[in-house]
A = this chain, B = another copy of it.
């Protein structure tokens, strides 16, 4: 591609990603159409379909590229405080309309693989924090940190996903407190 065409193409791509995120926030996922994204981004529908097969993968890329996905709070050294903070950020993020809509979009399009990717950074942070706690003896060495992360995140993701009860910081704290009893020596 000649340099000018490449630059134009980059600009279009970015305009599409920005439009997709703005629209999912304004309309929600089910009312979002590729046509509306194209109009807002000032490109033709075909341009979008050349790069993305449907709105799920388009939104995923928009999120990854135009992140950051929420904040990454600094750890303070106190295990309970750190885990509470991490899990509260997960709750906030899932409660944010844009993030919620993108995640559900991926589910509805059966893109579990992309959803897993989107949720992975938080999991890695948690596992890393748990491993650090193991090194200083705050978490038993026999604990499988992947299973511990399943407990912490699963409890929250399940409520979010099934909407059985509203997500809340209080619920997240209760989850952390219960899990901590299992992790300590």
Among A109, A147, A150, the one with the most B-chain Cβ atoms within 10 Å of its Cβ is A150
A164-177 interface code vs B (CB 8 A; 1 in, 0 out):
11000001001100
- Pairwise interchain contact A116-B175, C-beta atoms closer than 8 A: no
Does A27 make an interface contact (CB < 8 A)?
no
B155 x A159 contact (CB < 8 A): no
Chain A interface extent, by class: 35 or more
Main DSSP-derived SS at the A contact region? helix
Q: Nearest residue in B to A156 (C-beta to C-beta)? A: B154
Tell me whether A112 and B163 are in contact (CB under 8 A): yes
Identify the closest chain B residue to A119 (Cβ): B162
Contact with B along A109-148 (1 / 0, CB 8 A): 1101101100100000000000000000000000110111
Q: Does A182 contact B (CB under 8 A)?
A: yes
What would 13 more interface pairs be, CB under 8 Å, given A144-B174, A151-B151, A161-B161? Answer: A30-B110, A112-B161, A112-B163, A115-B162, A119-B162, A143-B178, A147-B171, A147-B178, A150-B175, A151-B175, A153-B154, A154-B155, A154-B156
A-B residue pairs in contact (CB < 8 Å), sample of 9? A104-B110, A116-B163, A119-B162, A150-B158, A150-B159, A151-B175, A154-B157, A155-B155, A157-B158
